[in-house]
Every structure is written in structure tokens, then in C-alpha cells.
Structure 1
Amino acid sequence: MTIATDQTASAVKNPRTLIPSWAFDLLVYDFRKKHHTSHAYTERVVGQTLVFLKAAGQIRREARRDPGAYVRIVPTRPVDEAWHEALQRTEVYLPMSLAFANSMIHHRPVMDDDIASGAALARTIPYLHRTGMYVDPEFWNAEAGSSCCPPECNDQGGREFLGSWEGRVADGPLTISF
């Protein structure tokens, strides 16, 4: 039994390996600067944010092949706080989104019954494990019903169509040349 547990633990990968070390260090620096957390905690929460975004990216890629494969997953409050910081570091966030999802991974703050009940988080955790990355239980267990967004933010159009850009940008897939 112990041997199986040790083998399982070694089979998962460190989320830090998902992006270049300089990019990881920038995300850690940004989070610590704003939240005044320990270095160890910050590295862990940033790592779990990367696991979440990797899972979201995998879902987006699958849903482009089969729209029925789309599943809504959600971060916990600490992971969402790190996501907010990552969104502001565009030189890291854009290439990371492209690497994980082959498109931008957008953030729409919303709190609804699916999140409040814990159903969304219960649905999320298996997708995190599918990434092959270490899923740190401190950031996912006992966090059901949490969100960065209070209920009053539902008027921000979390699930409604946001509208057209009326020819200001090209229709179709986003292509960025490097």
C-alpha cells in the first residue's frame, strides 16, 4: 500500500515546469508583492493556478474538436487571487494561454448557485488531476462555494453573450505571429 502511494506521488509533475522559470518567478514576485505571503505559500498557489489554467486549456482544446466536451471548471478563492495577478502580467499570461489552450483563457468573474453549492468545484478537481500535475489539497479541499466574486457581480454578464466588436477585429480564430 505504501509503495503504491509513493509511486502515485512520483507520477505527478511539478506545476512549476509548465512555464519557463523566469515567468514563474515573475508570477511569484507579483503575488507576494500584493498579498504579503510567504515565498513557499506563494510558489504553491501560483503552481495550483497553473494547474487550473492547464486544465481549462485542455477543456478548451477538446471543446473545439467536440463542443459537447465543454465543461465549466472553477478556481478556488486563493487560486483565483493568483489568477487575477497573472492576468496583469500580460507578457507571461498571453503566451501561457496560447500554450495551454491555443487561445486566450478569459476570466469572467461570476458567483452562481453552481459555485456556491460546491458542485462546480467537485466537477473541477478530476480535470485538475487529468493534467498530470500535482494537485495540492490545501488549495482545493474545503474551498467549495468560494469565489473571488461576490453575488452582486452577476450583473457583469458572466454567462451572457458579451456582444460584437462590429468589424473592429477580424472574425475567426485569433492568429498572432511571433
Structure 2
Amino acid sequence: MTVTADRAAQAAKNPRELIPAWAFDLLASDFRKKHHTSHRYTERVIGQMLVFLKAAGQIRRDARKDPAAYVRIVPTRPVDEAWHEALQRTEVYLPISLAFADSVIHHRPVMDDDIRSGAALARTIPYLHRTGLYVDPEFWDAETGSSCCPPECNDMGGKAVTGSWGGLAPDGPFTIRV
């Protein structure tokens, strides 16, 4: 049996259904105001950002059970721009992170050879498909080597050493459990 791309796209779940309509609309409104994009494009890029966060969250959950299951995935430039907007809307972003990962999904800007070569994106796409959500090829297929981060940006692949908070907060990665 052969499944066409159109049928496969219809079978995949709409990422918009992952969060309440009011939250999706709020993220879309924020993005549209800053980027001056059409309603259709905005809804699609917000949806793909949710697909990416869902995949990242599942990787985090799996890695807590088995650290060897951790894999670094990366967004494309347009998806990353939507992620930046979502990060600023904390009343929406924090519940998304908690729902998808049981912790905060942190953003660590980086540009490295793994991204420039396309290896990071090639590794990312199968994890997006594993979510069962619609993966819009326009936002993933031609984006090899893109990042929100300028070329001089590098934090050792997201493994930068953080300093002490001097007792104000726990040292190391901070996770909120509910």
C-alpha cells in the first residue's frame, strides 16, 4: 500500500491542538505584530514551533529515564524566531514546557559546525515526525545550517559552564517541578 504525502499530512495531528485556542492565538498575535506576517504563515510557524517543543520535551523526558537517550535537536531560523516570541510570553511558555517536558525547555543560542553542516537538522527531523504531529516541509526541508545565532556565537553546543548564584538559587540547570 502506498501512502501519498497528502494523505500522510492529513493523518498527522494538527499541532494547534496541543494548547488551548486562546494560548495559540496569543502566540500568533505576538508573532504577527513583530514580524508582520500573514495570518496563515503565522499559524503555520507557531504550529511548527510547537512540534519542535513537543519533540524536545519528549527527548528530555526520555533522557531523565536514560541519560544516553539525550539527543540535541535544533530549530530552523523561522521556527526559532517563533520560539523567541513564545519565550517572552511566560504565562503561555511555562505551561507548554511543563506539559511537554515536565520541566522548562531552555533556549541556548548556539551556532556550530553541527548546525552549519546540516547534521543537527538531519538528526532533528525524525524526532519531529515521532511526535505524530504534522511536520510542515516548508519550515524544515531547505533550512540546513540556519540558526538565530550569529556565526561568532558559541556556547559549546549548549554546554556552557554556568556560574554560582551565591545561594540565591540552586546552582546548575534549574528545573521547576509541579
Same fold at TM > 0.5: yes
Partner amino acid, structure 2, of 1:126: P
Partner amino acid, structure 1, of 2:177: T
8 Å CA contact retained: 2:81, 2:148: yes
Which residue is 1:10 aligned to? 10
Does structure 1 residue 26 correspond to structure 2 residue 50? no
Which residue is 1:174 aligned to? 176
Mapping of residues 32-111 of structure 1, within 5 Å: 32-111=32-111
Could you say what the CA RMSD is over the residues aligned between the two structures, in angstroms? 1.9
TM superposition shift of 1:7 = 4.5
Residue by residue, what CA displacement relative to the aligned partner does 1:124-155 show, whole Å, maximum 9, x if unpaired?
Answer: 00000000000000000010000000122226
SS in 1 for 2:73: coil
Does structure 1 residue 113 correspond to structure 2 residue 113? yes
TM superposition shift of 1:10 = 2.9
Q: State the aligned residue count.
A: 175
Indicate the structure with greater helix content: 1
TM superposition shift of 1:82 = 0.4
TM superposition shift of 1:23 = 0.3
Which residue is 2:128 aligned to? 128
Q: 1: CA distance between counterparts of 2:60 and 2:157?
A: 20
8 Å CA contact retained: 2:102, 2:177: no
Partner amino acid, structure 2, of 1:32: R
**TM-score when normalising by structure 1:** 0.92
SS in 2 for 1:154: coil
Question: Structure 2: which 5+ residue stretches go unaligned?
Answer: none
SS in 1 for 2:60: helix
Q: 1: CA distance between counterparts of 2:88 and 2:22?
A: 16
**TM-score when normalising by structure 2:** 0.92
Q: 1: CA distance between counterparts of 2:162 and 2:175?
A: 17
Q: 1: CA distance between counterparts of 2:141 and 2:87?
A: 24
SS in 2 for 1:107: coil
Is the alpha carbon distance of 1:173 and 1:50 closer, same or farther for their aligned partners in structure 2, counting shifts above 3 Å? closer
Please list every run of at least 4 consecutive aligned residues from structure 1 whose deviation after the TM superposition is greater than 6 angstroms. Answer: none
TM superposition shift of 1:11 = 2.2
Q: 2: CA distance between counterparts of 1:107 and 1:173?
A: 13
TM superposition shift of 1:163 = 2.5
8 Å CA contact retained: 2:104, 2:175: no
Identity %: 79
Which residue is 2:152 aligned to? 152
Partner amino acid, structure 2, of 1:119: A
8 Å CA contact retained: 2:60, 2:70: yes
